[in-house]
Structure 1
Amino acid sequence: MRKNFGAKAWTYPQPVFIVGTYDEEGRPDAMNAAWGGIDYDDRINLCLSEGHKTVKNLLVTRAFTVSMGTADQLVACDYVGIISGNKEPDKFAKAGFHAVKSEFVNAPLIEELPMTVECELVSYDPQTCHLVGRIINVSADESILNEKGKIDPAKLRPLIFDPVNMGYLVAGERVGNAFKDGTALKR
């Protein structure tokens, strides 16, 4: 038997994205955004309301980064989601984050978050809060790479937002092989 909950913005997993920008004076800012995902091979979509300092910044710079929130940085990642950059100009530093300018876009890489998607703004609709970015580069710290030089989710330990229970989970356990295990059902 199923229980019906009605129309809710509930899916699993919902990644914890930390969106980084520079303001007009070059100060870094970051916010936590759980509603987003990949669209096309080179597009990322986020739902961000126009009142956020981060949105104001990226509309000026036309660039942003999306770092994966990690279990190791859970407190800082949650902090940048509950404190507004409009009210706390030193939010980035108070989170304990350190910025390094991306080589590819005018936005900060966050040293403490080892995986980042670097993006240029494609479009933003303030009425629907729909933001689209073009992925220019993905960078990862060597500390989260496996022996083949690929990102290892078990080392990254990305956070997942649990919208039903208002919590964070961590991803990383491998339970199967994509595009292989299902072939067992082929006839």
Structure 2
Amino acid sequence: MKKNIGNAMALYPTPAVVVGVRVEGKATWTLVAHVGIVAHDRLLVSLHASHYINQGIKESGRLSVNIVTEEWLPKADYCGIVSGHKQDKSTLFESTAGEEGTPMVNESPLTMECRVEDVYACNGFENFICSIAHTYADESILDERGKLDYNRLKPVLFEFPTYQYLRTGSVIGQCTEAGKQYEKSQA
């Protein structure tokens, strides 16, 4: 029997990402774990309204979403504990401007450059609904067909409420195949 544990957010883990934007002409970064898919070409980035980076996102209407891997997790974690209000984080990462002008972390093998389509305020958070303008992928994480291979990417996952980082797991099957096998077993 299941136990009611209240209104616990139980959709974790989610990928850890570093969001990049320009504020007052300088790149700034923050670690974000409140990200999600809104549609096949839209994503959500949720940040507390007090974050320094929010002003740059709202002014430019652009941001980059940089997938965190284990190789640069220490710097990504650090940029999440240091406030842009108090410290200049512009030189924390080597970066390149994307076609939309947003700073992108060079160490990240996968970056999505996004346009903010809407902002939804909720319980002290600003939720940026973004369309994906461009996706930049290092060739080392692409398969032979030029498609993203998450076994090569190995994104870091964040689990809440324990505040732990996790490694991604192994492939356990192809989407729809388990359902087809189940259907056959019921015939």
Q: CA deviation at 1:127?
A: 4.5
Q: Give, as a single letter, the amino acid of the residue that structure 1 aligns with 2:98.
A: S
CA distance in 2, matches of 1:10, 1:71: 24
* TM-score normalised to structure 1 length: 0.89
Matching residue within 159, 163, 166 for 2:163: 166
CA distance in 2, matches of 1:183, 1:62: 43
Within the alignment, does 1:143 sit opposite 2:148 as a pair?
no
CA distance in 2, matches of 1:127, 1:185: 41
Matches within 5 A, 1:1-187: 1-25=1-25, 27-89=26-88, 91-94=89-92, 97-103=93-99, 105-128=100-123, 129-186=126-183, 187=187
Q: CA deviation at 1:179?
A: 2.3
How many matched pairs? Answer: 182
How high is the sequence identity, in percent, across the aligned residues?
Answer: 30
CA distance in 2, matches of 1:40, 1:174: 23
Q: Does the Cα contact within 8 Å between 1:50 and 1:56 map onto a contact in 2?
A: no
CA distance in 2, matches of 1:101, 1:109: 6
Q: Does the Cα contact within 8 Å between 2:42 and 2:129 map onto a contact in 1?
A: yes
CA distance in 2, matches of 1:41, 1:101: 24
Q: Does the Cα contact within 8 Å between 1:99 and 1:111 map onto a contact in 2?
A: yes
Secondary structure in structure 1 of the residue aligned to 2:50? coil
Select the structure that is richer in strand: 2
Q: CA deviation at 1:43?
A: 1.1
CA distance in 1, matches of 2:91, 2:74: 13
5+ residue gaps, structure 2, are: none
CA distance in 2, matches of 1:112, 1:152: 17
Q: Does the Cα contact within 8 Å between 2:13 and 2:160 map onto a contact in 1?
A: no
Q: Give, as a single letter, the amino acid of the residue that structure 2 aligns with 1:83.
A: V
Q: Does the Cα contact within 8 Å between 2:97 and 2:103 map onto a contact in 1?
A: yes
Secondary structure in structure 2 of the residue aligned to 1:93? coil
Tell me how large the CA RMSD over aligned residues is.
Answer: 1.7
Q: CA deviation at 1:183?
A: 0.8
Q: Does the Cα contact within 8 Å between 2:158 and 2:165 map onto a contact in 1?
A: yes
Q: CA deviation at 1:14?
A: 1.4
CA distance in 1, matches of 2:176, 2:20: 33
